[in-house]
Amino acid sequence: MGSPPRPMPPLIRSPSPAAPQWVVLRRIPRVSRTDNDLPQDTTAFLLALEAPPGLSVVSQLVIATDRGGPDRSAAFVRAADSCGILLLSGSLADDKPSASASYFLFDAVSNTVRRLPDWPGNGGGIAGLSVAAGGGSHNHNFMVAELVPPFSATNGGSAALHCFSPEPGVWVHKPLRFPDRIRLPWHSAHVLYYDGKLWWVDLSQGLLACDPFAVKPELHFVPLPSSGRLAKGDWKQRRDAGKHRCLNVSGGKLRFVVIQAHACVPKIKLWTLADPAAGEWTLDHEARLQDIWDDQSYTNTGLSKKRPSLALVHPGKPNVVYFFLQKHLFGVDLRTKAVTESSPHEHEGDEAAASSSSVLAWELPPSVTISSAGRQHVQEEITTSTFDRIADSLYDAYTRVFADMEFDRLAKIALGYRDKKTEKEDNKFKVS
């Protein structure tokens, strides 16, 4: 067994003087157990933010019971908006049985959690989040939309969009015509907000875009670049698509990355969706894995020369792509083939679970910052920011008082020692 990877030298790990405006957020939250009582019918979350390449995480707080496991199941982060809102889905153990998942809006700015009404019928789709400029989870300009694709072509290609917004405050069913060029079944890996639309991403074949605010929405299909599509019968590649491909917004455009590991020369390719209406992609970067492994910056990480799993594209630097390998998350500049930064992570579960399907890039609003503790406590419909500020103030005051007491005690000891020494010197001169 080889030695564990070495940490990166300080030169590469040095953070920028300015606080980062984005984080790498795990989609699967942790479940934290507490002995403290929570108000009835309350959902509480903890938010721990770390600067990239560290992993940030949402934890669902549950009451500890005599049973072996938590009494509520963890949720799943479906989307993250730059206004500070997370869309989570999941079923709680104490819920009444429901055919559809429950949705929650976690507002990191107001420190509140809002639960949406359950969809009355069968679910089966994946939801995205659209927030108007200046929006928040407690006003009237957000939309949660769940796309339910057809299971097969036998039902005439009909699909549905389930939409929820504060007005009218109920789920609305909107029928859709599914494009003919799409292979079924459609597998939505995740949903992105881009160019005023929601984009459902199938990493094996393409994207479906639609405006959920439209009275009669229409689906627009954008196929992936021809060399980036998977064959219909390649089920293993489709199942593991998140490990060797990713698609997210970077630099104001949609970027698609593929690790072509089975080619004669394994490469990493990055495309940009240059024309969404026409579905035209441009190949912007192409880097050999061997060139990255041979760079001194990669040697400094101590990582093995093995194929990594894809994580995401830097939201502000389209040439920087992040990868998982040996419980490390590291960034690579595809132009220079150099590692930009690297850090060990605590991705829970199997290393195989670390992929582009398990994380997302969350651009933070100015009011949400990464503190030294990096932790917030919020409850559904209960704002605890006032309590947190009081607690933080008391802690800071206690720390300052304790430090002053220590300084005062040390100062008295030093002055006493000086006085004794001076007294001895005076006696010495008197005797002589």
**How is residue 289 annotated by DSSP?**
H
Taking residues 420-432, what's their average pLDDT? 47
Which has more confidence, 380 or 155? 155
Q: Give residue 353's pLDDT.
A: 79
Burial of residue 420 (CB within 10 Å: 0-12, 13-18, 19+) is: exposed
**pLDDT tens digits, one per residue of 346-363:** 766 556 679 999 999 999
Mean pLDDT of 259-286: 94
By C-alpha distance, which of 53, 5, 52 is closest to 305? 5
Spell out where 64-132 has E strands.
Answer: 76-80, 85-90, 102-107, 112-115, 126-131
What integer pLDDT is reported at residue 30 of this predicted model? 84
Quick one: pLDDT at residue 66?
44
**DSSP string for residues in 304-341:** -SS--EEEEE-SS-TTEEEEEETTEEEEEETTTTEEEE
Strands (E), 64-205: 76-80, 85-90, 102-107, 112-115, 126-131, 142-148, 158-164, 171-177, 190-194, 197-202
pLDDT category, 340, cuts 50, 70, 90? very high
Amino acid (one-letter) located at 9: P
Which residue, chain included where needed, has tokens 């030169």?
11
Q: Are 405 and 413 in contact (CB under 8 A)?
A: no
* Structural contact between residues 60 and 29, judged by C-beta atoms closer than 8 angstroms: yes
Percent of the chain with pLDDT over 90: 50
Name, in order, each residue with C-beta under 8 angstroms of 408's C-beta and a sequence gap of 6 or more: none
Residue with tokens 């606080």: 19
Determine whether 382 is exposed, middle or buried from the number of CB atoms within 10 Å of its CB (0-12, 13-18, 19+). Answer: middle
Is the pTM higher than 0.85? The answer reads: no
Q: Which of 44-53, 141-150, 191-200, 333-342 has the lowest mean pLDDT?
A: 44-53
> 417 in the Ramachandran plot: left (φ > 0), alpha (ψ -120 to 50) or beta?
alpha
Confidence of residue 134 (pLDDT cuts 50, 70, 90): low
